[in-house]
Structure 1
Amino acid sequence: MSSFGGSDDRQAFQCLHCGTHTHGKIAVSTYFTEKDEPGTYHVRYQLVQCSACGDYSLLVADYLGSWYDDTDPYDNGTPVYPAAPKSMDRTVPKSVRDCFLEARVCLKAKAYTASAIMCRKTLEALVVSRDAKKSDLAKSLAELKRKGDIDERLYQWCDALRLAGNKAVHETEEAPSPVDVRDMNDLVEAIIDYIYVFQAKYEAFKKRREEQAEKDTSTPVPTA
């Protein structure tokens, strides 16, 4: 069962669009889901507008129980939209991780040109960490491909990101679009995951399989 109910006009939360801690304006009514008995609510949903950037977030608050000595028996709520960005794997080199996290911070702050440039700088840090640094980024990416760190498809992604980053650096009349910069961040993150995370997982998986195969072949077959 579910129900709509009234609530205060504002709710404290951190906007994941812009990173601001704010008291956002609650849009439309608060939505509750009931527990076992009618009128006993255990989850509260609120669509809240950030007072800083104007974007909307969906907050989900847990019911604290009738024992909670306060005017509001729910916690402040956790943003479920937009989703919080995932943390970088610790296997990613610090130089690469720092560059990409700065690109993501710029994206969140709607500094789109800065974010695009940091995406390109992340690729620069990546080729250095993989010992593929050449005289320019285009040659470095080609070397990364030659070494087998990336395949043809990822090479095309990297080169498109390089060109977009170059345009962000040199274009003074027009800023990159928010959609393009979000895609740049997503593509850079995918490339990082492929090179540093998934490749390592595959190698570990393959090694376990090979070790298990060796054990299976070396185990004596019982005779009747």
Structure 2
Amino acid sequence: MTLSDPWSSVSETHFVLNCPLCGEMTSFSIEAKVTSERHSWDGQNMRFMLLLCEYCQDILIAKQEGDDDVWLAPEFLSAETKKMPRPPLHPHIPEGLRRIHEEGMTCLWAGAYTAALVMVRRILEGVCILHGFTKKTLVQNLAEMKDVGLIDWRLFEWAQALRVIGNIAAHYTDEEVAREDASDALALSEALLEYLYVFSLRFEAFKKRNPEKVMPQGQSPTQSSGSSANTPSSL
């Protein structure tokens, strides 16, 4: 390789790309670049760049083919590009739901935003089925979950929004799914899973350890436990 890069005189110093590490469509600054004396199999010039994601601040290596006038889009070479954008979900969440969410994140990372929303809808359906709600429509099941106290009004509102946008993805339409919508939908579905399978159980454990701190006046721990038959820990 040589450090005499003919592209160094060009004023462009940034790329806007989908970061394979954080999953964001963001700007990359070019920290360093070199042009290879070798050529690609089809005779194109090759140059290699050290790129800094301005969102997550991670460094990646990319290759670009072309010539002094026209260069193709960069191709990331770093082994780290296989890393998932988010850490795994809590192990208390059922394995099947964790797997669907991970598949949704893979779709998001790959730019398949419609497919990511389909995974979100599958998460909602799975949550209903695993909690014993098997009515004909998803909207009926979510409403019943709210009625029995498994989810509050805010979570019901979130779930309804996810159901609607999931319907758009599951049926043919000319409407294009935005990356932001797919990303938000996956984040909201994750919050729903964390509430149902992690935080609710932790709060139940906290109440058992500290009954005098969380029980209303005049109500005993025994009375409270008798009214919580529909909590996630009992389903």
Tell me the equivalent position of 1:169: 170
- How do 1:57-72 and structure 2 match up within 5 A? 58-59=57-58
**Cα distance in 2, alignment partners of residues 89 and 57 from structure 1:** 23
AA of the residue aligned to 2:57? L
Contact 2:103 2:119 in 1 (8 A): yes
Deviation at 1:84, TM superposition (A): 4.1
**Cα distance in 1, alignment partners of residues 156 and 31 from structure 2:** 47
Deviation at 1:187, TM superposition (A): 0.5
Tell me the equivalent position of 1:91: 92
TM score, norm. by length of structure 1:
0.61
> 3-state SS of the aligned residue for 1:15?
coil
> 3-state SS of the aligned residue for 1:58?
coil
Change (3 A) 1:84 1:158: same
The alignment status of 1:119 with 2:120, answered yes or no, reads yes
Change (3 A) 1:90 1:26: same
Tell me the equivalent position of 2:101: 100
Q: Sequence identity, in percent? A: 35
Deviation at 1:94, TM superposition (A): 1.6
TM score, norm. by length of structure 2:
0.58
- In structure 2, stretches of 5+ residues that fail to align are 4-18, 34-48, 60-77, 215-235
> 3-state SS of the aligned residue for 2:57?
strand
The alignment status of 1:28 with 2:27, answered yes or no, reads no
Aligned length: 160
AA of the residue aligned to 2:30? A
**Cα distance in 2, alignment partners of residues 77 and 59 from structure 1:** 13
Change (3 A) 1:112 1:78: closer
**Cα distance in 2, alignment partners of residues 181 and 108 from structure 1:** 10
More off after superposition, 191-200 vs 92-101: 92-101
Tell me the equivalent position of 2:37: none
**Cα distance in 1, alignment partners of residues 204 and 134 from structure 2:** 24
Tell me the equivalent position of 2:21: 16
